[in-house]
Amino acid sequence: MMVVIVGRRSSTQDFKTDVAYLARLEGTMDRYKAQRLKKHRFRRDKTEVSCCMKYLMFGFNVLFWLVGAGLCAIGLWAWTEKDMFNNIGKVTSMTLDPALAFIVTGGVMFIIGFCGCIGALRENTVLLLIFSVLVGLIFAAELLFGILAFAYKDWCKISKMSRDIKNQIESQVQNMIINYREDSDLENLIDWVQQDWLKCCGVKSYADWELNRYFNCSSKGSIDACGVPFSCCKPTGDVIKNRHCGFGMIINTDRETKIYTEGCIPSGEKWLETNLIPVASVAVGIAVLQILGICFASILRCDVKAQKAKWGYDE
């Protein structure tokens, strides 16, 4: 009888021992899991990537990306309206196609904005590097142009190279006048420059409009012969704009009271001299934004690399 009692006590003790062992084992597992979870959270909470820098970079480039897409869409729409896709050869005959300028500018902005936006959001070091390089190249070109223009501003007035450059610009603007009626966007651009911006007419003077076959005095049957576009006319204060005000002004002796006689190249030079400080301020502002963009992208890229190294990930 005593043996049985001892045997029962032994079984009970073994059961209690097993329960205690399982409890200790479960407690050990819980502590291990808790330690791992705590360590995991600690590593995640102590991330090297700045959320402020990341989403500031993301937000700025989303706006840049959308603006680029909008400009590109406007340019493509304008090309579609002019049926340029079926007459792509027209592009080579024009010095400046405003629609093409929109497409190229929008495309560049879209690519740069895409790299910066996705690179910041996904913490992709390759896209951030591409963003920095592209913005850096644009900034370097702007900086080089600004330094040369400032350093040689007096030399440019007398040098043969500057005269050649000026002659080349005049030749390109003359080509725009020749194609004035061939492209509606180019026509609107020239009208805006002459009437709303520089208050000018022609390249060097109003007489340059004889280069256009519609305004040339030898053009038979053209109502515009010996005339200039309405955008050359001085404002009169009339409610209804007279679009025929430029008829016959090339041979009109009273033209100085009715149209702008100074060319757009001299007017542009005067405008730049008068507004040098505002133009320089805008240029500096754009340069500062570019420098900040490069710095933010570089800092974010270094933070991502540091975080990967902290977690033991290979680049």
pLDDT of residue 5: 41
18-41 in b/e form (b: 16+ CB < 10 A) is eeeeeeeeeeeeeeeeeeeeeeee
pLDDT at residue number 66: 92
Torsion angle (degrees, nearest 10) of CA 264, 267, 269, 270 = -170
pLDDT at 216: 92
**What local confidence, expressed as pLDDT, does residue 87 receive?**
64
Segments in the chain below pLDDT 70? 1-48, 84-95, 151-162, 313-315
Report field, pTM of the whole predicted structure over 0.85: no
The CA distance from 301 to 119, in Å, is 9
What is the structure's pLDDT at 82?
75
Per-residue pLDDT, 8: 44
The pLDDT value recorded for residue 46 is: 57
The whole-angstrom separation of Cα 83 and Cα 258 is 37
Which residues lie across from 233 on neighbouring strands? 259
